């Protein structure tokens, strides 16, 4: 029974009816779960996971680290400037 189904199904997949069915599914207004599950090409698009290359991850992590370091340096410089300005102003007012 299964072999008979496989033989007829492989014949159907090579026929114009299968091509028409694929066009109808792609251009139709409705897409059903069974349309995806029973079509090898569509199913592979929904289940395929493309791994992110390690190089991309390293570059992203390095960029984040650089941004964090720059922000910390800017905060320290601004804090130092504000503190020195306040101390200078305080020392000038105490001289009066």
CA end-to-end distance (rounded Å), the chain: 106
Least confident interval from 57-61, 70-74, 76-80: 57-61
Tens of pLDDT, residue by residue over 9-23, are 777 778 888 788 777
pLDDT confidence of residue 58: 83
DSSP string, the chain: -HHHHHHHHHHHHTSHHHHHHHHHHHHSS---HHHHHT-HHHHHHHH--PPPPHHHHHHHHHHHHHHHHHHHHHHHHHHHHHHHHHHHHHHHHHH-
Residue 47 has pLDDT above 90, yes or no: no
pLDDT at 96 exceeding the cut of 60: no
Here the tokens at position 27 are: 């251009």
pLDDT of residue 66: 93
Residue 39's pLDDT band (cuts 50, 70, 90): confident
pTM: 0.40
93: number of Cβ within 10 Å:
8
Please indicate whether residue 28 or residue 74 has the higher confidence score (pLDDT). 74
User: 65-83 b/e with 16+ CB inside 10 Å = b?
Assistant: eeeeeeeeeeeeeeeeeee
């Amino acid at each position: 029974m299964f072999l008979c189904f496989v033989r007829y199904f492989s014949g159907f997949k090579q026929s114009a009816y299968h091509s028409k069915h694929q066009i109808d599914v792609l251009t139709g207004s409705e897409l059903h779960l069974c349309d995806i599950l029973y079509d090898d090409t569509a199913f592979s698009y929904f289940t395929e996971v493309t791994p992110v290359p390690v190089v991309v991850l390293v570059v992203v992590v390095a960029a984040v680290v650089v941004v964090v370091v720059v922000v910390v340096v800017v905060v320290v410089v601004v804090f130092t400037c504000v503190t020195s300005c306040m101390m200078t102003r305080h020392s000038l007012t105490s001289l009066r």
